[in-house]
Amino acid sequence: MSLEGLRSEFPALVPREGVRPPVYLDSACMSLVPRPVIAAMEEYYREYPGCAGRSVHRFAEEVSQRFEAARDGFAQFLGAPDRAAVVFVRNATEAINLVGQGLSWKRGERVLVSDQEHNSNLVLWQRLAKERGIRLEVLSLQDDGSFPSDAYEEALERGIRLVSFFHTSNLDGRSLPAKEIVDRAHDHGALVLLDGAQSAAHRPVRLAELGADYYALSAHKMLGPTGVGVLAAQPQALGEVAPLMSGGETVEWTTLTDHALRPMPHRFEAGLQNYAGVLGAHAALRFLSAAGLEEISAHDLKLNERLTRALSGEPRLRILGPQAAGERPSIFAFALEGIDPNDAALFLDEGYGVMVRSGRHCVHSWYESRGLSGNVRASLYLYNSVADVDALVAGVRELIERIPAGPSPPSAPERPANEAATSARNSGGAARRPRRR
């Protein structure tokens, strides 16, 4: 499938009369959904709206087969060693919690995270430190994107039970040397959990070769619906995890005093599942596979290189993380001197139709440690175009020209004097304020 022309497959990007075509540069938060994904979910409710694995009528049989086919699809897509170790959850956050809360911890055992983890891969460990007495250790990453191998080795030598890192950062787009991280952790007897929410959507992941014990992802970042995630694991490692929830679908039998759990993965999937969402997520995998992850990665990089060349010379703009686009191909994170990031995002949306993320990107700890209030993040995906990048560049340049340099950011920048901004104000858009996250 050629990436050219794919834009028409995304209803949210179809031009509407009287409205500027949207420029969506927030896929690191949530990707858009193509028509085949929507169709797959509608098909479930329309043609076989049954419960998987329970009844024996034709609706139930159909959804059961398709649900398990989706599991096979994720196992193949991720190069997982065993389909029985592919568990459906709600999102990457739940997958990380399943591992963290499901492992049997001894007081004093250590978990190692980086200082750039999403809250989903930090708050849980802080909670377990208070509740179960584990010790949380933090590896500081280099701002230039290089990996501190010596400091990592020193941490492992102190004795780590679990290393829990992002694969690709949602903050600045850098990727960690996952294979090196896994191999060295295993050499020291440590397990490895990787947050793959930002990586699995953009490049091939081969878990059997990578060797990570646990890999978490969310379908809503890879063209799928919200409310679907996956924990893919090495079977032996998953066998060390107790279910996060118990109840229907997790047991072979029960009495009033006892029960027997089903084999993996079903023991982890309690209650009625999000069948429509899982089937939609499977359709998203087929769409991504047809497009080609190598092609998507190259497309991301091409756009980011254009964006980086255009804005890296702006004296009041600072790129966060690695400076080279090739080291952060899907994300361009930047701060503007003297301009509040939320005001910048509002300016770009109302004036240019450019949607970006602003704030602390659910990595509050990283910003707090540096005394930063946040930044702007543009994230790229297969449906973006050169025109999208150029619109962002034009908006940023006008904003810089309009706001004088100074130590204090303005409370609300003046809107661009163009038709789109006037339309936004007339529709009440000027009163809207972005959420500060």
Helix (H) or strand (E) holding 144: none
Q: Which residue among 96, 210, 217, 362 is the active-site one?
A: 362
Question: Is the pLDDT confidence value at 305 over 60?
Answer: yes
Local confidence band at 156 (pLDDT 50, 70, 90 cut-offs):
very high
Closest CA to 103 of 167, 162, 143: 162
Measured over all CA atoms, what is the biggest interatomic distance in the chain, rounded to whole angstroms?
A: 73
Give the range among 64-78, 114-128, 282-296, 423-437 with minimum mean pLDDT.
423-437
Which has more pLDDT, 414 or 364? 364
**SS3 (DSSP) at 142:** coil
Local confidence band at 405 (pLDDT 50, 70, 90 cut-offs):
confident
Q: How many degrees, rounded to 5, is the angle at CA 32 between CA 28 and CA 36?
A: 140
Number of other CB atoms surrounding residue 269 within 10 Å: 22
Distance CA 293, CA 192 (A): 24
Question: Is the pLDDT confidence value at 1 over 70?
Answer: no
Mean pLDDT, residues 179-207 taken together: 98
- 368 and 252, same structural domain? no
Question: Is the pLDDT confidence value at 426 over 60?
Answer: no
What is the structure's pLDDT at 18? Answer: 80
Residue 362 lies in a domain: yes
The domain boundary residue, chosen from 239, 274, 289: 289
- 211 and 66, same structural domain? yes
Residue 265 lies in a domain: yes
Mean pLDDT, residues 240-269 taken together: 96
Write 406-413 long-range contacts (CB < 8 A, 24+). Answer: 406/338, 407/338, 408/338, 409/338, 409/339, 409/340, 409/343, 410/338, 410/339, 410/340, 410/343, 411/340, 411/343, 412/343, 412/346, 413/339, 413/343, 413/344, 413/347
The domain boundary residue, chosen from 260, 289, 318: 289
Residue 437 lies in a domain: no
Could you tell me the CATH number of the domain that includes residue 151?
Answer: 3.40.640.10
Question: Is the pLDDT confidence value at 310 over 60?
Answer: yes
DSSP string for residues in 378-394: EE--TT--HHHHHHHHH
Local confidence band at 435 (pLDDT 50, 70, 90 cut-offs):
low
Residue 231 lies in a domain: yes
The domain boundary residue, chosen from 271, 289, 307: 289
Closest CA to 223 of 138, 288, 267: 288
Local confidence band at 418 (pLDDT 50, 70, 90 cut-offs):
very low
Distance CA 291, CA 2 (A): 6
Mean pLDDT, residues 237-262 taken together: 96
Distance CA 382, CA 24 (A): 11
Q: Which domain holds residue 126?
A: 37-289
Q: How many degrees, rounded to 5, is the angle at CA 129 between CA 154 and CA 148?
A: 25
HSE (side-chain half, CA atoms, 13 Å) at 136:
19
Distance CA 88, CA 22 (A): 32
Distance CA 200, CA 219 (A): 9
Residue 265 Cα distances to 249, 251, 320, angstroms: 11, 11, 40
Question: Is the pLDDT confidence value at 413 over 70?
Answer: no
Give the pLDDT confidence of 282-297 residue by residue, as tens digits.
Answer: 999 999 999 999 999 9
- 126 and 63, same structural domain? yes
Active site residue 51: no
pTM: 0.92
DSSP string for residues in 178-210: HHHHHHHHHHTT-EEEEE-TTTTTTS---HHHH
- 331 and 261, same structural domain? no
Mean pLDDT for all residues in the chain:
92
Most confident of the following: 18-27, 181-190, 365-374? 181-190
- 59 and 20, same structural domain? no
* 265 cis-preceded (ω within 30 degrees of 0): yes
Distance CA 152, CA 148 (A): 6
Give the range among 38-42, 212-216, 404-408 with minimum mean pLDDT.
404-408
Residue 384 lies in a domain: yes
- 312 and 243, same structural domain? no
Mean pLDDT, residues 215-227 taken together: 98
Residue 436 lies in a domain: no
HSE (side-chain half, CA atoms, 13 Å) at 355:
16
Contact 197, 92 (CB under 8 A): yes
Question: Is the pLDDT confidence value at 406 over 80?
Answer: no
Could you tell me the CATH number of the domain that includes residue 427?
Answer: 3.90.1150.10
Distance CA 209, CA 341 (A): 40
Work out how many domains the chain is built from and give that number: 2
Which has more pLDDT, 61 or 406? 61
Closest CA to 349 of 421, 419, 278, 417: 421
What is the structure's pLDDT at 80? Answer: 96
Question: Is the pLDDT confidence value at 429 over 90?
Answer: no
- 298 and 273, same structural domain? no
- 270 and 259, same structural domain? yes
What is the structure's pLDDT at 407? Answer: 55
Mean pLDDT, residues 126-144 taken together: 97
Question: Is the pLDDT confidence value at 91 over 50?
Answer: yes
- 20 and 69, same structural domain? no
Mean pLDDT, residues 353-365 taken together: 96
- 316 and 242, same structural domain? no
What is the structure's pLDDT at 409? Answer: 42
- 130 and 221, same structural domain? yes
- 332 and 284, same structural domain? no
Residue 121 lies in a domain: yes
Residue 1 lies in a domain: no
What are the beta bridge partners of residue 23? 354
What is the structure's pLDDT at 19? Answer: 82
For 183-209, give one letter per residue: b (16+ CB within 10 A) or e: ebbbeeebbbbbbbbbbbbbbebebee
Mean pLDDT, residues 145-149 taken together: 96
